[in-house]
Structure 1
Amino acid sequence: MLLECTEVRKSFGDAVVLDGLDLTVDEHEVIALIGASGSGKSTLLRCVNLLAEIDDGTITLDGEDITDPRVNADVVRQKIGLVFQSYNLFPHMTVLDNITLAPTKVHQRPAAEAKAQAMEWLDRVGLADKAGSYPDRLSGGQQQRVAIVRALVNSPRLLLLDEVTSALDPELVGEVLTMIRDLKGDGMTMVLATHEMGFARQVADRVAFLDKGRVLEQGPPGQVLGDPVEARTRQFLARIIEAGRL
């Protein structure tokens, strides 16, 4: 087991966002988190990446309790890549500089090594010719692919994807989803929060439906999305179907 979240609780003031949440992720597994806005999907990803401190419970990565206050968060984050729905690229830096910033400045890797690896990834995703471009010269889909490459250059054990297609025009969604599908083929372990139910059905090994800060139902995509057990899951999916998103 690569990741284990046990009885994880997180509140913001009086608002309980994660309420005793349990989730496990095996190595090379892809988990899709689905649920209504406010169900805790993004907060869970931020807690796993230690950008938000949990109030109770434990999160372990490779058997290590990464929520132990003695743990060096920067060291943990070298093993976990996180991609946000907004690309968060530095507008004054080229694509290549955006990608190599953390490896060279934070992880102290030689610049030539970081550049070579960045170019390998850019070539693989069809963006090698954009290495010297600035983010505002790229489409939304291209910017999101660059953001994913930036998370991959440190060879993370786990990749977290937070609604990475939600800010994209519909015609640009496919290129990002293709990249994620290719990463699955490589065996990358991923946890992705998504509203793209069709994609979750195609790429996920397991779908977890979050409701009120808990995993209410989880299982193979065909079962959770096609024949859910819980009434709340059925209600949620009915609204998704009404909106034409399943």
Structure 2
Amino acid sequence: MSLLRCRGLRKTFGGHVVLDGLDLAIDEHRVVALIGASGSGKSTLLRCVNLLEELDDGTIELDGQDISDPRVDPDRVRRRIGMVFQAYNLFPHLSVLDNVTLAPVRVHRRPRAEAEAQARELLDRVGLGAKANAYPDRLSGGQQQRVAIVRALANSPRLMLLDEVTSALDPELVGEVLALVRELKADGMTMVLATHEMGFAREVADQVCFLDGGRVVESGPPERVLGDPTEPRTRQFLRRIIEAGRL
């Protein structure tokens, strides 16, 4: 059984169709990279999976449960899903440690000492143990994004969603965030990541899905989709990427 299965997802904004009958299945311990032009539906798909957007039609199943059922408590679902956005979304008035422990303590009712011990362990793992008491404005963009990923990991999610996590970073800071994603893959974390980093998608993903017009137009192993795509629309997109020097 797939860990995540999307069937016939449809989402519109003001009459504009963003997801148009999208289907996607992801097995546990797999990394899926979503690629496509801006407006193709990548971010909206991730937001729908995390129940931040309400579907117009279709179903989303996580571990076999229909989480898109209106009777489902979205907060309970989000305890099993970690999401990291383009913007770091850290609370500026809280220290790094407090940002990471906020949800485990207040939402999951874990003892503070236990949550802080786990948070410090995770921060040490990503090389930020010494920054536990620092505030976000004292960190570089790459450090803030790593804290955001640690914050998502602190809830021990079944699934991680990463939405263009390097797009707001200076080029020299991208590598440290991508290194952390590689570590998560090595640990067996199931991830869906929307990215414009084609080289990274080729390296880390088990499956690449090209989205266009709110649908998965082509899907398969990175070496085939990025190296020898079969769909004309995929070939056109990648040709533009190559011309821009991004592949």
TM range (shorter): over 0.9
| Structure 2 counterpart of 1:16 | 17
| Structure 1 counterpart of 2:88 | 87
- Aligned residues with identical type, % of pairs: 77
Q: Deviations over 1:87-109 (max 9, x none)?
A: 00011110000000111111111
Say how many residue pairs are matched.
Answer: 246
Q: Which amino acid aligns with 1:160?
A: L
Describe how 1:188-199 pairs up with structure 2 within 5 A: 188-199=189-200
Distance 2:108 2:75 in 1: 9
Q: Deviations over 1:91-139 (max 9, x none)?
A: 1110000000111111111101110110010000000000000001000
Runs (4 or more) in structure 1 with deviation over 2 Å come to none
Describe how 1:81-160 pairs up with structure 2 within 5 A: 81-160=82-161
Gaps of 5+ in 1: none
TM score, norm. by length of structure 2: 0.99
Describe how 1:1-246 pairs up with structure 2 within 5 A: 1-246=2-247
Distance 1:106 1:52 in 2: 21
Distance 2:117 2:70 in 1: 35
Gaps of 5+ in 2: none
Q: Which amino acid aligns with 1:2?
A: L
Aligned alpha-carbon RMSD (Å): 0.4
Distance 2:207 2:233 in 1: 18
Q: Deviations over 1:188-246 (max 9, x none)?
A: 00000000000000000000000000000000000000000011100100111111110
Q: Which moved more, 1:28-37 or 1:101-110?
A: 101-110
1:15 is displaced (CA, Å) by 0.5
Q: Which amino acid aligns with 2:63?
A: D
What SS class does the counterpart of residue 34 from structure 2 fall into? Answer: strand
Distance 2:151 2:110 in 1: 14
Q: Which amino acid aligns with 2:130?
A: D
Distance 1:88 1:73 in 2: 20
